Amino acid sequence: MQELTKITPTDYDVIDVIKTRWSPRAFDDVPVSESEVKQLLEAGRWASSSYNQQPWRIIYGIKGDAVYDRILACLIPFNQDWATHAPVLMVTAYKKTNFDGDAYFHALHDLGLFMGNLVIQANHNGIAVHQMGGIDQEKAHQEFEFTSDFGIATAVAIGRYGGDPDQLSDDLKEQELEKMRERKPVDAFAFNGNFQSK
């Protein structure tokens, strides 16, 4: 299967590892090894965090192991349908309290930085990452025995670019084959002055 390429019409030049990143739902059949997963986690490990508290916690499963099936069972049915083909699945979680036991307001921000590092390292390695909000958070919290001071954030599917879009439903296949990527322009969300509702 030939790898799909997307067109990223940037207004300002950015590095290729950002321009070429996208989130497929179809993955190549070539497995992702545990050492490759650990390299992605290592990239995430070095993300910045408030007071270096590193609130992220990651559960990962590689297709064929029991953890993978447990993660898959926590996804909503829509995501189960396509994510079952991903070589690796993850659950991301965050610590809700800081070193002092107070509410950790920046925990989700820090988890996002962790995932940003992971995603960029993955794309550099030719590995695709698709993050999902569609996970039963309560079920995952219980399934993986998280304590009450942790929250579940997302699920993640990881695999190699170049999957067969025909394995997807017609609607998802159409999305997968879209060539042009879209984003809001910078001046729609960044203001050199007061906030503007756009």
Domain assignment of residue 165, yes or no: yes
- pLDDT exceeds 60 at position 183: yes
Domain assignment of residue 16, yes or no: no
Domain assignment of residue 194, yes or no: no
The 10s digit of each residue's pLDDT in 67-121 is 999 999 999 999 999 999 999 999 999 999 999 999 999 999 999 999 999 999 9
pTM for this predicted structure: 0.95
The predicted model gives 5-34 an average pLDDT of 96
The CATH number of residue 126's host domain is 3.40.109.10
- pLDDT exceeds 60 at position 1: no
The 10s digit of each residue's pLDDT in 122-180 is 999 999 999 999 999 999 999 999 999 999 999 999 999 999 999 999 999 999 999 99
Domain assignment of residue 69, yes or no: yes
How do 88-95 and 150-160 pair as beta strands? antiparallel
Q: How many domains does the chain have?
A: 1
Q: What is the pLDDT of residue 197?
A: 86
- pLDDT exceeds 90 at position 2: no
CA 142 to chain centre: 21
- Domain housing 153: 25-183
How do 56-62 and 88-95 pair as beta strands? antiparallel
Q: Which residue has the higher pLDDT, 197 or 61?
A: 61
Could you tell me the pLDDT band of residue 21, with boundaries at 50, 70 and 90?
A: very high
Domain assignment of residue 190, yes or no: no
Secondary structure (3-state) at 153: strand
Domain assignment of residue 12, yes or no: no
Q: Is 170 exposed, middle or buried (0-12, 13-18, 19+ CB in 10 A)?
A: exposed
Q: What is the pLDDT of residue 93?
A: 98
The predicted model gives 2-18 an average pLDDT of 90
Domain assignment of residue 195, yes or no: no
Secondary structure (3-state) at 59: strand
Helices 107-124 + 34-45 axis angle, to 10? 130
